[in-house]
Amino acid sequence: MKALIIGLTASLAFGVSGAFIKPLLENGWSPAAAVAMRTVVAGLVLLPFAIGSLHRNWGSVWRGRGRILAMALVGVAGTQLTYFIAVQRIPVGTAILIEYLAPILLVLFAWATTRVIPRRVVLLGSAVAIVGLVLVVGPGSIAGDLIGVSAAFLAAIGAATYYLIAARPSEGLPPVALAASGLLLGSFALSILGLAGVLPFTAAFTDMPFLGATAPWWVLLGIVAVVGTAIAYATSIIATGMLGSRIMSFVGLLEVVFAAMFAWLLLGENLGIVQLLGGLLILAGIAFVHSERPAPLEVVTVVTDDEAELLVTDGETGLLVTDGETALPVTDDGAGLPVTDDDRESAASTPG
């Protein structure tokens, strides 16, 4: 439950970003500049906490250098940049829908790499959550802008990769240190690309229209940087380490619901019955996926003429065959199956 609460906090924090960053993007800020500025501020906010967490453990930074670099380039810079590019070219709802195909990509990735068909509860949860997501954002048509659609799909791949990176073994690297270093390196990479002219890099340091009046640019950016980036990334990494990449990616779908709520409250965008129903379906999908439990461990007693051993297997029958002997697996109810000579080769490789 604690992990789910942290995950929900991350989704809520990420959901803040849209309503506060939109005025900047509509009034002179390029996506690269907006991402670079929000991430550098967020990284600096987290830096003191990161340094404190690394007390006498600076070696973990070097051991986790690959994870930090992947977080910076893919999880921070790449995902945010491609999403903002998509938002500029196709409807926001469509871009969000495509990006949040990430949980389905993770299910398919696990299916392809393990060659194990996901359990029905996972497939059902995936389908229900995606239906709910469609109802929340109302995607409309995605035809007409191949660049925008492609950018959104890249954002989905980036989001899925982010959850995989966050779920990897920490090598002793504290989550807040990973978040801070990833944000600072990601901002540095985008700034270099912007200054080199590879990406448009413009900003307008003026008051922005907001809530029917105006607000200083630094207030809007500060809320996005502290809440929507620093707190969001730190809590998301912590929750992903506790829940795993797949479940946290489904919890992350609630960002769309929270983003819609903030857009309704702050930008006057309507949140109707259909959107509320979609939010409930997303919650139901998360509940289905979270309800999955690993197969219970089965204790199998293997009896030979000379010895008896206990094998613990993950839902599989354990067999033990010795030269010249016939093993008899005995289950909890006392039932056993004899082992023939034909079984010896396969039984010898059965994990025990």
The pLDDT of residue 127 is 85
Residues 206-222, mean pLDDT to the nearest whole number: 88
Length of the chain: 352
Has residue 281 got a pLDDT over 90?
no
C-beta neighbour count of 73 within 10 angstroms: 18
Residue 292 host element (H or E): none
Maximum average pLDDT range among 16-30, 35-49, 305-319? 35-49
Tokens at 89, concatenated: 């070219």
Q: Where does the pLDDT of residue 212 fall: very low under 50, low under 70, confident under 90, or very high at 90 and above?
A: confident
Residues 253-263, mean pLDDT to the nearest whole number: 77
Share of the chain above pLDDT 90, in %: 19
Has residue 318 got a pLDDT over 50?
no
Greater confidence, 265 or 301?
265
The pair phi, psi for residue 43, each rounded to 5°, is: -60, -40
The pLDDT of residue 47 is 94
**Domain range list for the chain:** 2-290, 298-348
Has residue 33 got a pLDDT over 60?
yes
This prediction has a pTM of: 0.69
Has residue 260 got a pLDDT over 90?
no
Smallest CA-to-CA distance from 174 within 301, 47, 280, 335 is with 47
Greater confidence, 98 or 329?
98
SS (H, E, C) 142-186: CCCCHHHHHHHHHHHHHHHHHHHHHHCCCCCCCHHHHHHHHHHHH
Q: Where does the pLDDT of residue 137 fall: very low under 50, low under 70, confident under 90, or very high at 90 and above?
A: low
AA identity, residue 4: L
The pLDDT of residue 293 is 56
**Cα separation of 125 and 253, whole Å?**
12
The pLDDT of residue 348 is 40
Residues 298-324, mean pLDDT to the nearest whole number: 45
Q: Where does the pLDDT of residue 46 fall: very low under 50, low under 70, confident under 90, or very high at 90 and above?
A: very high
Supply the DSSP symbol for 73.
I
Rg (alpha carbons) of the chain, rounded to whole number: 25
C-beta neighbour count of 89 within 10 angstroms: 17
Q: Where does the pLDDT of residue 214 fall: very low under 50, low under 70, confident under 90, or very high at 90 and above?
A: confident
The pLDDT of residue 69 is 94
Greater confidence, 101 or 201?
201
Q: Where does the pLDDT of residue 330 fall: very low under 50, low under 70, confident under 90, or very high at 90 and above?
A: very low
Smallest CA-to-CA distance from 246 within 162, 352, 137, 341 is with 162
Residues 273-294, mean pLDDT to the nearest whole number: 73
**Cα separation of 271 and 142, whole Å?**
22
CA distances for 341 relative to 313, 347, 352, angstroms:
22, 10, 19
